[in-house]
Amino acid sequence: MFHPRRTLRTLLLPLAAGLALTALPATSAHAASTLTNGGFEADGAGAATPGGWSEYGDTGASFTESGGHGGSYRLSHWASTAYQVETYQYLSGLTNGAYKLTAWVRSGGGQKSAYIALKNCGGAEQRTDLPVSASGWIRIVVPVNVTSNQCTISVNSDANAGNWINVDDLTFTSGTSSTSIKGADISSLAKSEAKGGVYRNSSGTAGDPLAILKSSGMNYARLKVWVNPADGYNNKARVLATAKRVKAQGMKLLVDFHYSDFWADPGRQDKPAAWAGHSYSQLRTDVYNHTYDVLNALKAQGTTADMVQVGNEINGGMLWNEGSTSNWSQLAGLLNSGYDAVKAVNSGTTVALHLAKGGDLAGTRWWFDSARSGGVKFDAIGLSYYGYWHGTLADFQTTLDDAASRYGKPVFVAETAYPFRLDSEDSHENIIDTSAELVSGYPASVAGQTRWMNDVASIVEAVPNGRGLGIFYWEATWTAVNGNGWDPTDASSGNAWENQALFGYDDRALSSMSWFRHR
């Protein structure tokens, strides 16, 4: 890792050339206006201080080594004892304006902090944490507004013994990045409140959960629609009522059509009872009429939908069996009926198609290739990505980036979540309730939940060409309340999700809501 012979030879070279020692620091003291050696290829392996870079702190913990992302070498931080180190490069003579640092990173996790930053640029320091990814490289970005003609690029670790990061292929270019959607699905909220659910701010004062979420940075709400659910919730009337509250908070609205009376997902896409026995032709009319009816009623009360999902997690199609992916031409017809109804109500509403399995590149390509060849109309792509089911963060980034570029559409996370604890508040077993089910590097804690959301958001933010729209957290308000269980046909069913809400078992807002303020 450290090569004393190489270092000694570097020191002796200027003397052999007859130069005074005072000339040695000149190259590092004169900062350039462009990033030098961003791929760490200049020195080979074992350079204690990479060419063009400087170090501060426990400098022995920062070095180059083989195994680059693009080229042959990378920057690594590692030590056998606890360490704090910064590898940095100072840029001057910059034209003021918006810039974006892009980097490819890996991390074994466990650090107190590990991040890339842009600082001393004239405004507030901007940071992006390194997601925990021990094998696959992940691209992250850091935007900044330079106002002082200078900026420092900084790679930072505050680490415990044995913790490591790899960083490579940094670029610093004009541009910016951010996400516009900081959303949450709150479909369970109306029933929760009707059954006595209480929501409190972080200091314990009871309040409107939407106002609490809004104050934390939430700007978009997602509401599912069932046709005729057994419990009378998540139907047209309830969605209309909740939509008024959403819009009163100044939030945008995503309406998620399941085209069912019950949960629709990759495992089941049951037709509503009212549509049972209908011909395929009639089902196309049913989809159009139901979609138009709900959205037109929303528009009429002044709460027009900003985005609509035509179907929910439709990996296998919808309205089985007629709309199964085993009959793509029929599925395409149903999807286009939904699209046409959305646009007939409001041409400006974004129509999204939503799949689960956000880390499944091959499956996502197959589905959207089929949709495209079948003439399916859509404006955006939504993916569910649960890290404990749907592959690694690197798999997710690969799939998300590919969908955006392959189909030329903006992409977003329609659903994700993470537990802040493993035990259950009610008698119903939680879906994620053992440490073996967690994603490595992300504990079931408020800090782990916060980190998961910020790291997923960083991946969405890094989608090229500004096509990463943002994230919807799934069921932020689904706390454990008697009568508000998972099964609309069974009032005694429990909640398997309360350990993944954004309100704790004391009903207080969790500090993990801070993810809503991600860039």
What 3 state SS string does 383-426 have?
Answer: EECCCCCCCCHHHHHHHHHHHHHHHCCCEEEEEECCCCCCCCCC
Q: Which two tokens stand for residue 317?
A: 């199609």
Q: Which of 55, 322, 415, 461 is catalytic?
A: 415
What 3 state SS string does 81-133 have?
Answer: CCEEEEEEEEEECCCCEEEEEEEEEEECCCCCEEEEEEECCCCCCEEEECCCE
Torsion sign over Cα 377, 247, 187, 410: positive
User: Is 116:89 a contact under the CB 8 Å cutoff?
Assistant: no
Q: Which residue has the tokens 């509401």?
A: 223
Q: Is 86 one of the annotated active-site residues of the chain?
A: no
**130 half-sphere exposure, CB direction, 13 A CA radius:** 33
User: Is 324:317 a contact under the CB 8 Å cutoff?
Assistant: yes
Q: Is 322 one of the annotated active-site residues of the chain?
A: no
Q: Which of 313, 425, 475, 498 is catalytic?
A: 313
The residues, ordered by sequence, that sit 6+ positions from 28 with a Cβ below 8 Å of its Cβ are: 54
Q: CA 278 to CA 282: how far, in whole Å?
A: 6
User: Is 461:177 a contact under the CB 8 Å cutoff?
Assistant: yes
**Distance separating the N- and C-terminal Cα atoms of the chain:** 36
324, β-bridge pairs: 317
H helices within 324-376, ranges in order? 328-345, 361-373
Closest among 412, 19, 368, 401 to 185, alpha carbons compared: 412
What 3 state SS string does 207-246 have?
Answer: CCHHHHHHHHCCCEEEEEECCCCCCCCCCHHHHHHHHHHH
**What radius of gyration do the chain's Cα atoms show?**
26
Q: Which residue has the tokens 């290829």?
A: 41
Catalytic (active-site) positions: 313, 415
